[in-house]
């Protein structure tokens, strides 16, 4: 490498405002180029950006990678790339330490266990739809539907007391919101950490039959006792990972489907279509919009190229999800497409632990929302919708909708 | 068709159970893969191959 950083192009982050559902246009060019692209990133380092589907999978399956600066520190100007990994920070851990912790959690997220939560989730979705329908529009679908549902699912999973759920939900909404002012954010952060610490301490004394309680028992029984710090970090990781992502998917996919009436009609006519629709919308929207950052810990090969230890790599998940060699006509939403092999949940040992839960939540939302409110429509012009162009998880800030007779 | 699994590599993502529920399951105690059918019949071959393709940990090997 003789090039200097200043000669390199910048990592693309800006979308074409006319196509807010499409990744930055440069990704198509990157896919067409040979090999990876060395680009400068806002955090101040050069990274090799991997954009083709097969290359992204090869990269993320390689053991010679560290996730210590994951998920997307490359786009954080002033971000710290060598921050020590906090104990319990599943997203950032590597190797056997990561595998051990993940394995303590996997029984909570099996297909079987998540299927058992489906009736609870159905009830939650129906309750929120009842509450919406008891009002007259417009309502903000993000604040009144997309945010509370995943938050309450996490409460159920973690075993938060019913009496505390309203407060918990308020504060986590501030925490994952992008409209929050810094003081409110700091306050919410303190409160959520305090809340999680209290929850962990309570369950350590008297473990209950919920994720945290069972995790504490399982870790103890296998001689891998987890510290308060690890449990709090894990709890908050699950909270953020399970809340923000699903909430943004609900808001953004509803908007995308409202803009694609033929597909929405098909879903209304056949709610069973929600099964494939969820993975197709995950593929199409790629909400972890800047991809995931890794650092090579040894030499590895991507295509014909050798990446050396120490180099930074970005798996551009949204670029791989639009790779036409795997997904024909990739820029089109096709709710019947078999898109399960998309990259939105990542790939390799860090692939989303909560993916089955996300699927079930989104399936129930997709199937029920449009059945119960078939006349759902935007209450503002499309041009007025604000997108989270800077957030690590893409979405809409608010989604004013209404229903009933057009007037 | 003959299927082999590598339980040590498994990360419990559950992709194989979704893709081929008649061939793969997950253990209740740790979520790791269980092979239900070592030689899947013809009508399960496509689903089994899809499961191997989806596995994020490359823990499923299919020999034909």
Residue whose token pair is 């399936």: A363
Examine the pLDDT at A1 and tell me if it is beyond 60.
no
- Separation CA A307–CA A312 (nearest Å): 9
Who among B28, B29, B57 is closest to A349 (CB)? Answer: B57
Contact flag B14-A351 (C-beta cutoff 8 Å): no
Confidence category of residue A4, pLDDT binned at 50, 70, 90:
very low
Q: Can you give the pLDDT at residue A166?
A: 86
Q: Can you give the pLDDT at residue A180?
A: 66
Examine the pLDDT at A366 and tell me if it is beyond 70.
yes
Tally C-beta pairs within 8 A across A and B: 70
Confidence category of residue A25, pLDDT binned at 50, 70, 90:
very high
Cβ of residue B48 closer than 8 Å to a chain A Cβ: no
Chain B residues whose beta carbon lies within 8 Å of the beta carbon of residue A345: 13
- Separation CA B4–CA B16 (nearest Å): 13
For B7, name the nearest residue in chain A, comparing CA atoms only. A103
User: Which DSSP letter does residue A131 get?
Assistant: H
Cβ of residue A346 closer than 8 Å to a chain B Cβ: yes
Contact flag A355-B30 (C-beta cutoff 8 Å): no
CA distances A291 to A219, A377, A382, A388, A394, Å, are 32, 31, 26, 15, 11
User: Which DSSP letter does residue A58 get?
Assistant: H
| Residue-by-residue DSSP string for A183-252 | HHHHHHHHHHHHHHHHHHHHHHHS--SSHHHHHHHHHHHTT----HHHHHHHHHHHHHHHHHHHHHHHHH
**ipTM for the whole complex:** 0.96
- Separation CA A248–CA B15 (nearest Å): 23
Examine the pLDDT at A320 and tell me if it is beyond 60.
yes
User: Are the C-beta atoms of B12 and A111 separated by less than 8 Å?
Assistant: no
Chain A residues whose beta carbon lies within 8 Å of the beta carbon of residue B51: none
C-alpha torsion angle, residues A265, A355, A293, B9 (rounded to 10)? -140
Q: Can you give the pLDDT at residue A171?
A: 84
Mean of per-residue pLDDT scores for chain A: 93
Q: Rounded to 5 degrees, what angle do the CA atoms A371, A376, A382 make?
A: 140
Evaluated on CA atoms B27, A65, A322, A362, the torsion sign reads: positive
Confidence category of residue A149, pLDDT binned at 50, 70, 90:
very high
Chain A residues whose beta carbon lies within 8 Å of the beta carbon of residue B28: 107, 110, 112
Confidence category of residue A5, pLDDT binned at 50, 70, 90:
very low
For B21, name the nearest residue in chain A, comparing CA atoms only. A111
For B8, name the nearest residue in chain A, comparing CA atoms only. A99
- Lowest mean pLDDT of A142-156, A167-181, A331-345, A377-391, name the range: A167-181
Confidence category of residue A2, pLDDT binned at 50, 70, 90:
very low
- Which distant-in-sequence residues (6+ apart) come within 8 Å of A235 by Cβ? A158, A196, A199, A200, A212
Contact flag A103-B56 (C-beta cutoff 8 Å): no
- Separation CA A24–CA A318 (nearest Å): 9
Q: Can you give the pLDDT at residue A7?
A: 55
Chain B residues whose beta carbon lies within 8 Å of the beta carbon of residue A351: 11, 13, 56-57
Q: Can you give the pLDDT at residue A3?
A: 44
């Amino acid at each position: 490498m003789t090039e200097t950083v200043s000669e390199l192009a910048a990592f693309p982050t800006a979308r074409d405002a006319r196509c807010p559902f499409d990744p930055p246009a440069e990704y198509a060019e990157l896919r067409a180029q040979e090999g990876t692209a060395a680009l400068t990133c806002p955090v101040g380092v050069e990274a090799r950006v991997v954009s083709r589907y097969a290359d992204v999978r090869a990269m993320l399956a390689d053991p010679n990678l560290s996730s210590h600066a994951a998920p997307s520190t490359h786009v954080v100007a002033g971000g710290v790339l060598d921050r020590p990994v906090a104990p319990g920070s599943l997203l950032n851990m590597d190797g056997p330490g990561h595998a051990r912790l993940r394995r303590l959690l996997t029984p909570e997220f099996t297909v079987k266990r998540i299927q058992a939560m489906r009736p609870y989730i159905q009830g939650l979705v129906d309750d929120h739809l009842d509450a919406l329908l008891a009002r007259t529009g417009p309502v903000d679908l993000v604040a009144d539907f997309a945010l509370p549902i995943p938050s309450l699912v996490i409460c159920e999973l973690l075993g938060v007391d019913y009496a505390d759920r309203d407060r918990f939900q308020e504060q986590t909404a501030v925490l994952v919101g992008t409209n929050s002012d810094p003081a409110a954010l700091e306050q919410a952060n303190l409160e959520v950490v305090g809340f999680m610490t209290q929850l962990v301490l309570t369950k350590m004394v008297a473990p209950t039959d919920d994720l945290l309680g069972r995790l504490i028992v399982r870790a103890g029984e296998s001689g891998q006792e987890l510290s308060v710090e690890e449990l709090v970090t894990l709890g908050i990781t699950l909270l953020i990972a399970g809340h923000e992502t699903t909430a943004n998917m609900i808001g953004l996919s509803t908007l995308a489907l409202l803009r694609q009436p033929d597909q929405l009609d098909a879903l209304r006519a056949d709610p069973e279509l929600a099964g494939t629709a969820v993975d197709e919308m995950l593929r199409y929207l790629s909400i972890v919009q800047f991809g995931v950052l890794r650092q090579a810990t040894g030499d590895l090969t991507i295509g014909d190229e050798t990446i050396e230890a120490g180099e930074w790599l970005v798996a551009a998940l949204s670029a791989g999800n639009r790779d036409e060699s795997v997904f024909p006509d990739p820029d089109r939403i096709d709710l019947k497409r078999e898109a399960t092999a998309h990259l939105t949940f990542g790939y390799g040992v860090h692939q989303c632990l909560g993916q089955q839960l996300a699927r079930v939540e989104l399936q129930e939302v997709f199937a029920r929302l449009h059945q119960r409110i078939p006349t759902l429509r935007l209450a503002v012009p499309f041009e007025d919708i604000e997108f989270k162009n800077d957030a690590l998880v893409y979405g809409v800030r608010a989604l004013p909708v209404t229903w009933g007779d057009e007037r | 068709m003959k299927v082999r699994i590598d339980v040590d590599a498994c990360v419990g993502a559950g992709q194989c159970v979704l893709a081929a529920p008649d061939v793969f399951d997950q253990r209740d105690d740790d979520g790791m893969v269980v092979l239900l059918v070592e030689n899947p019949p013809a009508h399960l071959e496509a689903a089994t191959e899809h499961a191997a393709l989806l596995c994020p940990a490359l823990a499923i090997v299919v020999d034909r």
